[in-house]
């Protein structure tokens, strides 16, 4: 095992051990940064940021190449449908992070679908 992998494994195990040890101290109290938000909402916004913008590199490569090669319109459409369901779920449980990030994700996904369709049609006419 390389040193890098060993160090990553040790860090992961220490993090998990410390989280398990502190479990009885964790309560969903108000955030220190934003008094109107619960701590779980702040964590939700951070996690949502990461998952929402994970697809940006693919979109940027597609726009830079001006080609939709390698992009699956079917998968993008399925993702958009389920992101809309996530928005509905977020409304049901009254979770601001779930609603906010999935709204942004749906908009980005529709942008990606539109660009993919544009470049696919452009490729057919060329």
Backbone dihedral angles phi then psi of residue 38, each to the nearest 5 degrees = -75, 155
Report the CATH number that the domain containing residue 53 is assigned in CATH: 1.20.1280.290
Rounded to two decimals, the pTM is 0.58
Number of domains in the chain: 1
pLDDT in tens, the chain (126 residues): 676 677 677 767 766 665 555 555 555 555 455 566 676 777 777 777 877 777 788 788 888 888 877 777 788 888 888 888 888 888 988 888 888 889 998 998 888 888 888 888 877 776
Q: Is residue 86 part of a domain?
A: yes
Per the CB < 8 A criterion, the answer to whether 113 and 76 are in contact is yes
Structural domain span for residue 92:
37-125
Give me the phi and psi of 30, to 5 degrees please.
-65, 145
Question: Does residue 85 sit within a domain?
Answer: yes
């Amino acid at each position: 095992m390389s040193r890098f992998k060993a160090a990553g494994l040790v860090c992961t195990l220490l993090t998990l051990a410390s989280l398990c040890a502190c479990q009885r101290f964790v309560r969903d109290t108000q955030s220190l940064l934003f008094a109107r938000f619960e701590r779980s909402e702040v964590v939700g916004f951070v996690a949502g940021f990461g998952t929402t913008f994970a697809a940006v590199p693919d979109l940027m490569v597609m726009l830079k190449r001006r080609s939709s090669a390698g992009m699956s319109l079917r998968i993008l459409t399925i993702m958009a449908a389920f992101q809309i369901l996530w928005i509905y779920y977020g409304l049901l449980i009254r979770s601001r992070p779930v609603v906010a990030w999935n709204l942004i994700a749906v908009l980005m996904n529709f942008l990606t679908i539109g660009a993919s369709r544009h470049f696919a049609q452009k490729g057919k006419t060329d």
